[in-house]
Structure 1
């Protein structure tokens, strides 16, 4: 026990406690040690030799330990290789002491095995002992006991609404109600004769004291009043949470759950989720208390809305809870067996099984023995999206087929992005059917421009797609060996190749794509080699793909006459004597970059200067950009002010064709929402509720959403809703500008591209002060020069979008903006850049000096 309060609580339960030196001795002498949150629960140094049982504290939705982003980073500790190695070994040794970790289902077991690096002999499906209370006794007695516990909150009302947010790694709950929201909550409770009990996470932050001051129908049930909230769940009529595993517990009681998550994008991406949030929430969550209260009114009464929530609760149970009740007895039996006394308890077997798995061209096929189940559908679930497959019955067996490739936005069929794609077979209710993996799995193979492996995972199998690197290219030390072979002296023979890369290989777009188009037209004999992270990235027709890290990639990087990039060069780079590096960058800088940012450490400043030294030429959209990009990277070479090739399509793009690829009718107006990324989050910025915006704009509009390349990698947000088109993966944002009637952005450089066609622009900037003053800083006063209105609320954004057009009063500002920032975006910037490259000898190996002499 760490505190007097803990000791007193234990005493109330009839438990003897020891602290200090006595705790160490007791732990050292114990044959069995039971923990719930790690070895910090006991005297850590005394657990050696004990049979350690870890009773986990919930069904995992959030990524844990090895699966979580940043699991090897500690605040205040340098994030360097040796430190990560030490932390990795410490985690491994700690987890290796666990002898038994019981869970409620094979799905939960798969996640914890992955997170902790433990095997099926340790993580076993025996049920969660902590929720046995939910299955003990009869319903009436359970509800009476639970209601007595909830009464400790002091809140009064016939029905009970429990608000139980999870913790946020030291950040406060973003949904703490405002003073006005507390008033509206109190009015809703009075209308429904209900009470709101707020149960904050024991480690959560947020001040809810204003609630009880507003109404006697609002009460707090803190950790001091009730250590474990689980026994109180049978007395709850409606649960409100965000990402907490309490939703799974409540689902076993048929308690309808509503999701309130204003930070779903940032939280899901920062922590990582084993399930897409839409699957956890049932496809709906609210961002505000007003939206939540409206939803609660629908669910409070019998009807379709309540039935939908209850049906989703049953799906959650079917997916995640195979055993409920009696878990404590099974765990004790397993402990006895582990100590050599008696037989181990039986564990549930999957109701269906995979008989065989094989690749059939561009699809993966699975033959399934359904047992007593009735599968009706199959899908592939990845980190960012879910893809439907096909299901047929063949000779009494079910055959599932899922795609390994797909065509998007009118492009060619390409392999799916690198990810672990879990195969999910579902029944008529939408619940996933657990599948025992086959006796043997296909061998890993290189096919379809990918490395394809099949692994047993999450009560099914996962198709793990990775870049198509050979075993030799993936081996430890292989990349350094390839680097030495291709970049070491003497220099390789130059090749008539230009190597292009955009956004670290995640897209073939932006200025390099504009230069590619001009190269194909002006110098078709030059090979255009596109650097991509894997085979899922579409590249221009006639170009050659080189996947990062492959032998071909290193060879092209060393032999190419020119490297054209729009961001930092990755991996170590030695510029060959025959080679020139053209840095196009990816926008006029509104936000301060590199050396122009305040508070940059020495390491970052040195890295920025070194990066600038790698470039031979810097491309700028305008004189303003030339000045700031040069200063940001201390660049000493020539700056070509020739306009931006990525904007050429604004003059030549086919509006109707782009809209057809987006599925947008030609007779509706399009608001393109294209926010930039944020340094303090890795997820898509969601300051504008796009579904709500589409609803306000009405049937005559579509809201097309384009997330930033850096934020898309974080995943965590599924954009959906009537009138919303998620175009985050669309290859070229400039084409989206062609299709748009209004641009809605914040601080993205897309505002300068839109200048080339004077597209009406609305600035959605609810975090303006924070972004400008804390995160980045601006290179000029945006408010004084912006070619469109600032909007901080959804209503302001919608009003500005509806008013945008030739007569909105901003035409003069737009013209001035174009003259300052896009004077050369005339549709021919790509041609000018390639002609300059030819004149400078960049495509035939001549140096700049020799080119000038001739």
Structure 2
């Protein structure tokens, strides 16, 4: 029935809506395919609220749960409903951090700002050699879908020069392949808070809001997802070799641990045996707040390392499946073993030893080099830079601007 409604009612309606004039003051935001309110789109929007722009522009948030609390003056719209298609058809600017449905065609005068959601360590997009994700038939189909989706993007946000170079190949975004498109190497808006709000007062308030104790050190465990560990399409398992019983036995007197699921991971895990030691947060919790309240990070191949390093706090790398992940599942863009500024462990016992015996002096040089390479653009002003561009774009005649650019390229 849903397919019939979509084919004979919704999609024809979207085609009709596309004939209506664009609204230059209409901006649509979406994070993680509507699953939550977080990431770069959230922090761009909240800077707009600070500047009072939410009262001057019409801001739409696409969400699966329209009861989600969002500050400012915004309209919350459920994904894939009639209103969703209406506003998608009429908005001058889209601000998304993941891909949008393939049947949604962007209008020529609409600007699509793809903020993306992390500096890539593991290979992605057109650079991938294999695909193990749920629902993906083969690597050729996957790459074709990635390419077609990235043709909609007008601007792609990058955290650093390293990412910018990778995005050129992973999303065919080089000047040769995409002359009318642009990568904005501004740093990430979601990291502005790590620069601007890294204060004891703000951190204590966050701990109160999140019910995190203040009398123990806080470990944040934020692993990535495994492409081949899934329940169904876009729903992945919490795959880990971590021994939480051992962690509790050896660390609970001095530490608590926050477990942050990746937004693609959905598991109903019974944590009742770890009361007052393990605190879990799902996709609806903005991880930037968890960075701030934690004293140390435990991760693996996740891009969280490139954000957390802004805080210059200890990082531990629990890479129990390093060889298989690197050589069989995804592959890496850099030599992770040589570059990361913290100890690598393959067992929980090794991790505990690393945590208890951590000496920051052993990693100072690596940490400084890591931050210089990945965090130079994260200066607390990325959201403002994006908004400045948004205000320019909303009244820009896109086709005329592209024509001028083409003429400039011919002259060169």
TM-score (norm 1): 0.42
Aligned to 1:640: 184
- 2:249 alignment counterpart: 695
Could you say what secondary structure the match of 1:615 adopts? Answer: coil
The separation in 2 between residues aligned to 1:591 and 1:718, in whole angstroms, is: 30
Tell me what 2:101 maps to.
570
The residue number in structure 1 matching 2:303 is 749
The alignment status of 1:500 with 2:35, answered yes or no, reads no
- Which residue among 146, 155, 164 is the counterpart of 1:617? 155
Q: How does 1:251-270 map to 2 (within 5 A)?
A: none
Q: How many Å apart are 1:812 and its aligned residue?
A: 2.0
State the aligned residue count.
Answer: 375
For 1:718 and 1:778, the matched residues in 2 are separated by: 33
Q: How many Å apart are 1:588 and its aligned residue? A: 0.5
Q: Distance in 1 between matches of 2:249 and 2:206?
A: 23
Residues in 2 aligned to 1:848 and 1:731: alpha-carbon distance in whole angstroms: 39
CA distance in 2, matches of 1:848, 1:511: 27
1:708 corresponds in structure 2 to 262
Alpha-carbon deviations, 1:695-729, whole Å to 9, x = none?
Answer: 311322110000101012xx242334041101224
Partner deviation per Cα, 1:173-211 (whole Å, 9 max, x = no partner): xxxxxxxxxxxxxxxxxxxxxxxxxxxxxxxxxxxxxxx
For the residues of structure 2 that align with 1:719 and 1:826, how far apart are their CA atoms?
Answer: 38
Question: Retained in 2: the 8 A contact 1:674–1:744?
Answer: yes
CA contact (8 A) 1:533 1:547 kept: yes
Where does 1:795-834 land on structure 2 (aligned, <5 Å)?
A: 795-804=349-358, 807-834=360-387
1:621: how far off? 0.4
Structure 1 residues 811 and 849: alpha-carbon distance in aligned structure 2, compared to 1, 3 A threshold: farther
Matched, 1:602 2:140: yes
Check conservation: 1:662, 1:725, Cα contact below 8 A. Answer: no
Corresponding position: 1:487 with 2:40: no
Q: Is the contact between residue 674 and residue 745 of structure 1 (CA under 8 Å) also seen in structure 2? A: yes
Whether the aligned pair in 2 keeps the contact of 1:507 and 1:538 (CA below 8 Å) is no
RMSD: 2.1
Who is 2:232 aligned against?
A: none
Question: How far does residue 686 in structure 1 lie from its aligned partner after superposition?
Answer: 2.7
What is the aligned partner in structure 1 of residue 410 from structure 2?
A: none
Correspondence 1:478 to 2:5: yes
Distance 1:819 1:487, change over 3 A: farther
1:774 and 2:322 are equivalent in the alignment: no
Cα distance change on mapping 1:536 and 1:746 into 2, 3 Å: farther
Find the aligned partners of 1:756 and 1:852 in 2 and give their Cα distance: 40
Spell out the pairing of 1:179-258 with structure 2 (5 A cutoff). none
Corresponding residue for residue 115 of structure 2? 584
Helix, strand or coil at the partner of 1:498: strand
Structure 1 runs not aligned, ≥5 long? 1-473
Alignment of 1:712-727 (within 5 A): 712=266, 715-720=267-272, 721-722=274-275, 723-727=277-281
1:528 Cα offset (Å): 1.9
Q: Which has the larger radius of gyration?
A: 1
Q: Distance in 2 between matches of 1:586 and 1:718?
A: 29
Is there any run of 5+ residues in structure 2 with no aligned partner, and where?
132-138, 230-235, 405-412
Q: How far did 1:628 drift?
A: 1.1
Rounded to whole Å, the distance in 1 between the matches of 2:71 and 2:113 is 19
Residues of 1 paired with 2:391 and 2:357: CA distance? 46
Cα deviation code 1:584-617 (max 9, x no counterpart): 1100000100211113632122112111101111
Q: CA deviation at 1:803?
A: 3.5
CA gap 1:689/1:808 in 2 versus in 1, 3 angstroms? farther
CA distance in 2, matches of 1:551, 1:831: 32
**Alpha-carbon spacing, 1:631–1:611, altered in 2? closer, same or farther (3 Å):** same
Deviations 1:215-267 (A, max 9, x none): xxxxxxxxxxxxxxxxxxxxxxxxxxxxxxxxxxxxxxxxxxxxxxxxxxxxx
CA contact (8 A) 1:512 1:565 kept: yes
Structure showing greater relative contact order (alpha-carbon pairs closer than 8 Å, 6 or more residues apart):
2
- 1:543 alignment partner in structure 2: 74
Higher relative helix content: 2
> How much does 1:684 deviate?
1.3
**Post-superposition CA distance 1:492-533 (Å, at most 9, x none):** 222222111111111111111111112223323112211112
Q: Retained in 2: the 8 A contact 1:506–1:537?
A: no
**How far apart in 1 are the matches of 2:127 and 2:182?**
20
- TM-superposed CA distance for 1:572, in Å, is 1.1
Summarize deviations over 1:399-444 as a string: whole Å, max 9, x none.
Answer: xxxxxxxxxxxxxxxxxxxxxxxxxxxxxxxxxxxxxxxxxxxxxx
2:346 maps to what in 1?
Answer: 792
Deviation at 1:694, TM superposition (A): 3.2
Cα 1:729–1:613 change in 2 (3 A) is closer
Deviations 1:454-493 (A, max 9, x none): xxxxxxxxxxxxxxxxxxxx75522232222223585322
Aligned counterparts of 2:142 and 2:297: Cα–Cα separation in 1: 34
CA contact (8 A) 2:102 2:149 kept: no
1: CA distance between counterparts of 2:399 and 2:345? 48
| Cα distance in structure 1, aligned partners of 2:286 and 2:41 | 11
CA distance in 2, matches of 1:630, 1:620: 11
1:655 equivalent in alignment to 2:203? yes
1:627 aligns with 2:165: yes
Change (3 A) 1:594 1:490: closer
Return the alpha-carbon distance in structure 2 between the equivalents of residues 489 and 725 of structure 1: 45
Residue 849 (structure 1) shift: 5.0
**Structure 1 Cα separation of the partners of residues 50 and 130 of structure 2:** 45
